[in-house]
Each structure stands twice: as structure tokens, then as C-alpha cells.
Amino acid sequence: MPIPDPPPIPAADPEALRTALPAVLRDTFDTEWVQVLDRAKQSHSLREIHELLNKWQHTAAMELRAPGSYQRLLDKAAQIESAGGRSSGVSIEDMRALIQRRMQAS
């Protein structure tokens, strides 16, 4: 059985994103959209608008592929934060040493 194609990624456009987002996330998007528009009016810069649309484009694509993934991500972040940080993580120094060993082995 062939693997189905993933859903298309919505355009980085407010209307397209609102359509692609599940109803539970639309209010959050709308709130952030209004805030970033207000800041853009003051700063005369579109940078934050582009950043917001990019963030929500990724979120919408993630939700289309795995519904509920955004909430799971938030839940995991809250769990890590409440535990005082990620305890099972590897330090950057240890990761660099591992990479160096693997590069020398090849």
C-alpha cells in the first residue's frame, strides 16, 4: 500500500492559515495577529508580521499532519519547565565530543 502524500503546506497568508488551523487554535492566532499588527504600525516594520506568519505556517502544517501536535508540544514544554528543565538532555560539550569521535571513526 503506497504511503499517502502529506497535506499541502498552507500559504503564509492570514486567511489561508486561519482556514488550515483547527478551531481551537484560531483564537490564539487571531490574538497574536492583532498584537503583531499593532506593533508593526508603531515600528513601521513588517519583520514581526513575517515571523508570525512563518510560525503559524509551520504550526498549521504540523497540525494538518498530526492533529493535536501543537497542544502536545505545549504540554511537553510545560512538563519540562515544571520539572526545572530537561533532565535527560545531553550537554553541548558531550554532544560535540560524540560527534568528534564519530567523525574520527569514519
Residue 106 clears pLDDT 80, i.e. is over it: no
Sequence-distant (6+) residues with CB within 8 A of 24 are 71
Contact by Cβ (8 Å): 62, 70:
yes
* CB-based burial label for 47 (10 Å; 0-12, 13-18, 19+): exposed
* Model pLDDT for residues 7-55, shown as the tens digit of each residue: 889 999 999 999 999 999 999 999 999 999 999 999 999 999 999 999 9
Residue 26: alpha-carbon gap to chain centroid: 15
- How high is the pLDDT of residue 87? 61
Please check whether residue 8 lies inside any domain of the structure.
no
**pLDDT digit string, tens, across residues 49-100:** 999 999 999 999 999 999 999 999 989 888 888 877 766 677 788 888 888 8
Look at residue 102 in the predicted model and tell me its pLDDT.
Answer: 86
Residue 7 located in a structural domain: no
| Count: domains in the chain | 1
Coil, strand or helix: which one is 19? helix
90: domain range? 14-105
pLDDT at residue 21, rounded to an integer: 94
- Integer-rounded Cα radius of gyration of the chain: 19
- Using DSSP, state whether 7 is helix, strand or coil: coil
pLDDT at 6 over 90: no
The pLDDT assigned to 94 comes to 83
Judge whether 35 and 62 are in contact, CB under 8 Å: no
In a domain, 80, yes or no: yes
